[in-house]
């Protein structure tokens, strides 16, 4: 009987040991399963958090494409407006340049007419003054005269013209005509002794021609013409 009791006791202890061992194994498996589930859940939560963050960021920029499109349209519109304004400015600039050119042309024509009238008036007054100073060949004197220094005062008078005529006569005395001889008093000889010229008319004209050929001077040409007219060479 004692042996049977010992066997039961041993079996019971073995049974209890097996039971406790089984319980320990089951707990370990449950802990492992619980641990694996927690990692998956954690990964899911991480992925969800990341996805939520991305979604929130997308919401911030979900209108960016529309804004970018509007910006491109506004930029294009601005460029078109600037181009149109530039075209208008270019048109206005061309019109302004054209008007300015027309104004300059009219102003040049006006100045040319004024200068032409001034020269005509200057030549007219020169002719009058030359005749008053007994200049015989006025046209020749006008060609020889230097009128560049003559100025016009505020009243329209030519200043310095008399000096020009005076200097012209001093430098070219042959321009002045010979004064007519005064009538001789009654009782004086009608044919007084007159000194005959040392040279003949032909010799004087020939010398004048040779001098003009050498110098080609307007003054020498005028002198030659005067001598030919004086001695009647044009009538021969």
Which runs of consecutive H residues, i.e. helices, occur in the chain?
A: 2-61, 64-132, 138-144, 161-171, 201-215, 218-230
Cβ contacts of 175 within 8 Å, gap of 6 or more: 135, 136, 137, 140, 141, 144, 168, 169, 222
pTM of the model: 0.41
Question: What phi, psi does 116 have (nearest 5°)?
Answer: -65, -45
Question: What phi, psi does 183 have (nearest 5°)?
Answer: -60, 140
DSSP assignment letter at 151: E
Question: What are 36's two structure tokens?
Answer: 């694996």
Long-range contacts of 113-118, Cβ-Cβ distance < 8 Å, separation of 24 or more: 118/152
The rounded distance, in Å, linking the Cα atoms of 4 and 78 is 110
Report the pLDDT value the prediction gives residue 62, as an integer from 0 to 100: 64
Q: What is the pLDDT along the chain (236 residues), one digit of tens a residue?
A: 444 444 444 444 444 444 444 445 555 555 544 445 577 777 788 888 878 887 777 776 666 777 778 888 888 888 888 888 777 778 788 888 888 999 999 999 989 988 888 888 888 988 888 888 888 888 888 888 888 888 888 887 888 889 989 888 888 888 887 654 445 555 455 554 444 456 787 888 888 888 888 888 777 777 787 777 777 775 55
Report the pLDDT value the prediction gives residue 105, as an integer from 0 to 100: 92
State the Cα angle at 118 between 117 and 119, rounded to 5°.
90
């Amino acid at each position: 009987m004692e042996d049977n009791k010992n066997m039961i006791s041993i079996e019971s202890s073995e049974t209890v040991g097996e039971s406790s061992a089984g319980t320990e194994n089951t707990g370990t498996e449950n802990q492992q399963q619980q641990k694996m589930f927690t990692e998956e859940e954690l990964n899911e939560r991480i992925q969800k958090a990341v996805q939520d963050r991305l979604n929130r960021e997308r919401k911030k920029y979900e209108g960016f494409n529309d804004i970018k499109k509007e910006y491109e349209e506004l930029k294009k519109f601005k460029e078109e407006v600037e181009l149109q304004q530039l075209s208008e400015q270019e048109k206005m600039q061309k019109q302004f340049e054209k008007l300015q050119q027309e104004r300059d042309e009219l102003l040049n024509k006006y100045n040319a007419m004024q200068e032409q009238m001034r020269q005509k008036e200057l030549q007219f007054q020169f002719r009058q003054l030359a005749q008053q100073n007994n200049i015989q060949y006025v046209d020749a004197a006008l060609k020889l005269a230097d009128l560049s220094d003559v100025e016009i005062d505020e009243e329209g008078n030519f200043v310095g013209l008399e000096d020009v005529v005076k200097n012209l006569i001093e430098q070219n005395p042959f321009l002045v005509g010979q004064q007519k001889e005064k009538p001789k008093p009654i009782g004086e000889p009608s044919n007084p002794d007159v000194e005959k010229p040392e040279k003949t008319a032909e010799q004087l004209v020939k010398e004048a021609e040779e001098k003009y050929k050498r110098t080609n001077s307007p003054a020498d040409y005028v002198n030659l013409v005067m001598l030919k007219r004086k001695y009647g060479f044009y009538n021969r």
